[in-house]
Chain A
Amino acid sequence: MSARTTGWLAGVFTAALSGVALAAADRATGPWRVAGVAINTVVFGGTLGALVGMTAARLAASGTATDGAERLLNLATAGLPKDRLEWGAAMRAELTAIDDTRERRRFARGAAGVAVLSGFGRGVPLGLATGLVVAIVTVVASRAQLTGGGPGILSVTVPAPAMALLAVSSTAAWRAGLSRAGLHAGATAFAASFLAVTTMAATEGMVWMDRLGVFVLDADPPRTPATVVDVAFDLFTTGMWVAHVLFWLPWPFVGAWIGSRGAARKAGRDTRSVRTAG
């Protein structure tokens, strides 16, 4: 199977899986449900599928790799920061000296982990700050809707963090000139945002149920008397956490790609300017 076919298959499978997950999490009924799921699958499942497909195609075509261990390590060490390039080459060279298949896999897994996490700490402050901002935005939106009326905080907790993830990952990638820097910041921001939304949905949910007798996510009243657990874990019992994850997931990748491309273009322009001035 060619690398291109592998990429297409992986992409279509991911998009289809996203569609199934979105359909399972969608609460709407009738034609709106079909239309909503279809649009979301195309937009978000399609974006995610494209990213997975491109990665799969790149993995399948990674150089002259002889086995999965080498492919994994080649992919993990691609685009390392300058101060870690030598270490990526060192781990790849070391793998070529290992003959036993099991040992090769074991070594490649460990070394790939080191490569993937190399420089991870640099994106943590930005990622944590994003989580804090998402928490604040969620509370502000909740309180504004609590007094002014509104459809529930889902209208904020789904798109706002997604845009924050895009901004953070593109900024980090642009500053470092590396897509992996964007992915590192995006991964931390993703986790921090999820924790923020989970916590705020639980605490604000209590306030909404107490004052308005409805769930905070979509302002729907409970069909049966709601317990504290129902309110605190509404995000999970309704499956809406899946929708959050799927909506947010593409943006760190898109941001990392945009940021690194922007940095590469800027570096190209700067080089041309220097040549012209010279």
Chain B
Amino acid sequence: MGAMQRNRRSSPQTAAVLLALLDQGESWSYGYELCGRLGLKAGTIYPILMRLADRGQVETAWEQDAPRGRPPRHLYRLSPTGAALAADLRTEPGRTSDAPGMRRPDMGAAPT
């Protein structure tokens, strides 16, 4: 298959994750924070993040200044490829990022 890309429409959940990360720009996000912001479960968010990371659309890193007694958390943000894809999604006609039970990326508050 090599570098062949499948021109497949992203699922509403994947699109929501991409748009939520696009809103964050260069800032890093946590997995649980994304769950709270989008109203999605960990069982939905993590497979999406894994897939996006495998495709090089999401960059990952470990928290550098974790509080004492707590392991560093995993951080996520869009790579340039992912940002371009998310920007395309934002302008895509007829795209609705809403799935049942899901909040819009810019609506939910991040969990404390």
CB within 8 Å of B: which residues of A? 84, 86-87, 89-94, 96-98, 103, 106-111, 113-114
Contact = CB atoms under 8 A, between A and B. Distances in A.
B83 interface: no
Q: Is the interface of A mostly helix, strand, loop or mixed?
A: helix
B15 interface: no
Given A91-B42, A114-B47, A107 B74 contact: no
B8 to A, nearest CB: 17
Interface of B: 30-32, 35, 41-47, 50, 60, 70-74, 111
Given A106-B41, A110-B43, A111-B43, A93 B32 contact: no
Given A94-B31, A97-B30, A97-B32, A109 B43 contact: yes
Contacts, number: 59
B43 A94 contact: no
B70 A114 contact: no
Given A89-B71, A94-B73, 19 more contacts: A84-B50, A86-B74, A87-B74, A90-B31, A90-B60, A90-B74, A93-B70, A93-B74, A94-B42, A97-B73, A107-B32, A107-B35, A110-B45, A110-B46, A111-B43, A113-B43, A114-B42, A114-B47, A114-B50
Nearest to B67: A97
Contacts of B45: 110
A104 to B, nearest CB: 10
9 contacts: A90-B74, A94-B31, A103-B111, A106-B42, A107-B35, A109-B42, A111-B43, A114-B43, A114-B47
A91 B46 contact: yes
Contacts of B46: 87, 91, 110-111, 114
B57 to A, nearest CB: 16
A107 B44 CA distance: 11
Contacts of A93: 70-74
Contacts of B31: 90-91, 94
A97 to B, nearest CB: 6
Contacts of A103: 111
A111 B42 contact: yes
A134 to B, nearest CB: 31
